[in-house]
């Protein structure tokens, strides 16, 4: 028996090494194509978009040239008000073993600036696009309701100029439709900025919303039929943060498959242990070669799953691999140990330790808890069912279910009676 256990341990170690190799290959396949695939998606769909608030500056004289001409320098002017809307439409894209959270955005903003100086000044309004590698459809740039005579800046933005009398207001607006990936954000400015009369409304067509790091939370949220209506409204805000929304992410097949593969030795360890104990209780004598073929059937699940992902949906690939692996184990043990042991003991153990434990990786944050609960329940059940097993007889090869000691009767002081009464 001891030699058989050592042989089973060696089979377990060899299987674990095979899983480590398969997991490394799966990770390599994912990483090697990640940058290339992400670049392809960016070319087709665009980068994460970070819309910057428009800049307004006034040309203010600062001295004069020797010829008497005034030297004008641009002085930034705070926006008097901002009213912005953005509608985000999620559209997942898959490339290879990765899903990318791409989206369409319908953007529109209206801003107001006021001349705070005591004289008429030339004002420059600058608008910068949220991403360089993107397409902007239905674009419009208006000043006081008229299409702006805009010119291109050196950094790829647009600017226009006009003269404002003291206290005069200018209202300008920008609208476009574009596409991006992962996150959409709006920044008040490049540094800590004071924002007055600010309003931003973002409507999503998805329920699972999140917010990027270093962003301001919305002041109100309203659930809609398709998603959420998020509102940021501030009368007077000073902040170096920005506002925005992070797109929900789908389970990526490549990283998920690698996690499940690296977790496989734990599943096999539980399965081998339970099958060994149940074999002792049922009188099923499994040879190390039987354990070798059971390990191979477990390995087939992860091998099939890793390569079916290239061609099938994630859940479909998981289901096909699970059915094939369970069928291999049950059909094999049916010939080795009979229908009951194959379908009940082995079948249920494989469903629990291989299929269920692997599926918990689909549920973020529940893998460790599920394994812990499964381990404790397994320990409890096995402790209760093996409490009266004669392990000396098991390891000596003399154990069978028929040799199990009788349960002590009521009032008994030991495991069995010696048949002799004490002397008077």
Q: Is 189 within a domain?
A: yes
The string of pLDDT tens digits covering residues 89-99 is: 999 888 777 88
Which of 202, 217, 246 lies at the terminal end of a domain, its last residue? 246
Q: Is 184 within a domain?
A: yes
Q: Is 16 within a domain?
A: yes
Shared-domain flag, residues 207 and 108: yes
Shared-domain flag, residues 21 and 116: no
Shared-domain flag, residues 241 and 259: no
Contact 361, 377 (CB under 8 A): no
How far is the CA of 45 from the CAs of 79, 334, 379, 424, in angstroms?
32, 53, 52, 98
Beta pairing partners, 176: 107
Shared-domain flag, residues 129 and 14: no
Shared-domain flag, residues 309 and 386: yes
Structural domain boundaries, residue 339: 2-30+252-401
pLDDT given for residue 33 in this prediction: 60
Q: Is 348 within a domain?
A: yes
Shared-domain flag, residues 313 and 299: yes
Shared-domain flag, residues 50 and 168: yes
Q: What is the pLDDT along the chain (424 residues), one digit of tens a residue?
A: 778 889 999 999 999 999 999 999 888 877 766 556 666 677 677 789 999 999 999 988 876 556 656 777 888 998 999 999 999 999 988 877 788 899 999 999 999 999 999 999 999 999 999 987 788 999 999 999 999 888 888 888 899 999 999 999 999 999 999 999 999 999 987 777 788 999 999 999 999 989 988 888 899 999 999 999 999 999 988 877 889 999 998 888 888 899 999 999 999 999 999 998 888 888 888 899 999 999 999 999 999 999 998 888 889 999 999 999 999 999 999 999 899 999 998 999 999 999 999 998 888 778 888 888 888 998 898 888 888 888 877 777 666 665 555 445 454 444 444 443 443 3
What is the total count of domains within the chain? 2
* pLDDT over 90, % of the chain: 52
Shared-domain flag, residues 126 and 232: yes
Q: Is 89 within a domain?
A: yes
Q: Is 177 within a domain?
A: yes
Shared-domain flag, residues 57 and 192: yes
Distance between CA atoms of 229 and 263, rounded to whole angstroms? 40
Q: Is 40 within a domain?
A: no
Sequence-separated (6 or more) residues with CB below 8 Å from residue 116? 77
Shared-domain flag, residues 148 and 168: yes
pLDDT given for residue 37 in this prediction: 64
């Amino acid at each position: 028996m001891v030699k058989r256990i050592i042989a089973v341990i060696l089979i377990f170690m060899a299987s674990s090494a095979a899983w480590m190799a398969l997991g490394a290959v799966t990770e390599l396949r994912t990483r090697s194509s990640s940058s290339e695939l992400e670049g392809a998606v960016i070319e087709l769909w665009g980068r994460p978009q970070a819309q910057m608030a428009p800049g307004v500056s006034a040309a203010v004289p600062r001295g004069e040239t020797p010829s008497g001409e005034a030297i004008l320098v641009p002085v930034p002017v705070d926006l008097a008000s901002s009213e912005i809307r953005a509608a985000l439409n999620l559209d997942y894209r898959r490339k290879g073993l990765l899903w990318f959270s791409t989206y369409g955005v319908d953007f529109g903003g209206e801003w107001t600036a006021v001349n705070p100086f005591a004289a008429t000044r030339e004002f420059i309004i600058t608008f910068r696009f949220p991403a360089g590698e993107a397409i902007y459809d239905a674009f419009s740039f208006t000043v006081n309701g008229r299409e702006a005579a805009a010119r291109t800046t050196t950094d790829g933005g647009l600017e226009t100029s006009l003269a404002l009398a003291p206290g005069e207001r200018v209202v300008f607006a920008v609208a476009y439709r574009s596409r991006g990936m992962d996150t959409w954000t709006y920044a008040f400015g490049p540094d800590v900025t004071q924002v007055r009369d600010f309003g931003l409304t973002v409507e999503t067509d998805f329920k699972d919303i999140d917010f990027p790091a270093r962003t301001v939370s919305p002041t109100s949220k309203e659930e809609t039929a398709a998603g959420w209506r998020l509102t940021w409204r501030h009368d007077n805000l000073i902040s170096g943060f920005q506002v925005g929304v992070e797109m929900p992410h789908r389970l990526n097949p490549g990283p998920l498959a690698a996690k499940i593969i690296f977790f496989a030795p734990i599943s096999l360890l539980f399965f081998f242990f339970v099958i060994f104990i149940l074999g002792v209780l049922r009188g099923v004598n499994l040879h190390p070669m039987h354990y070798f073929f059971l390990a191979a059937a477990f390995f087939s699940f992860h091998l099939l799953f890793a390569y079916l992902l290239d061609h099938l949906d994630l859940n479909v690939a998981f289901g096909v691999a699970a059915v094939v692996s369970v069928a291999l184990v049950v059909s094999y043990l049916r010939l080795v140990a009979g229908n009951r042991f194959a379908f009940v003991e082995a079948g249920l153990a494989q469903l629990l330790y291989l299929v269920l434990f692997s599926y918990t990786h689909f549920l973020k944050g529940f893998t460790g808890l599920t394994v812990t609960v499964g381990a404790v329940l397994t320990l409890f059940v096995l402790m209760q069912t093996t409490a009266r097993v004669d392990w000396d007889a098991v390891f000596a090869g003399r154990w069978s279910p028929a040799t199990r000691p009788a349960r002590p009767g009521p009032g008994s002081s030991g495991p069995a009676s010696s048949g002799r009464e004490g002397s008077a």
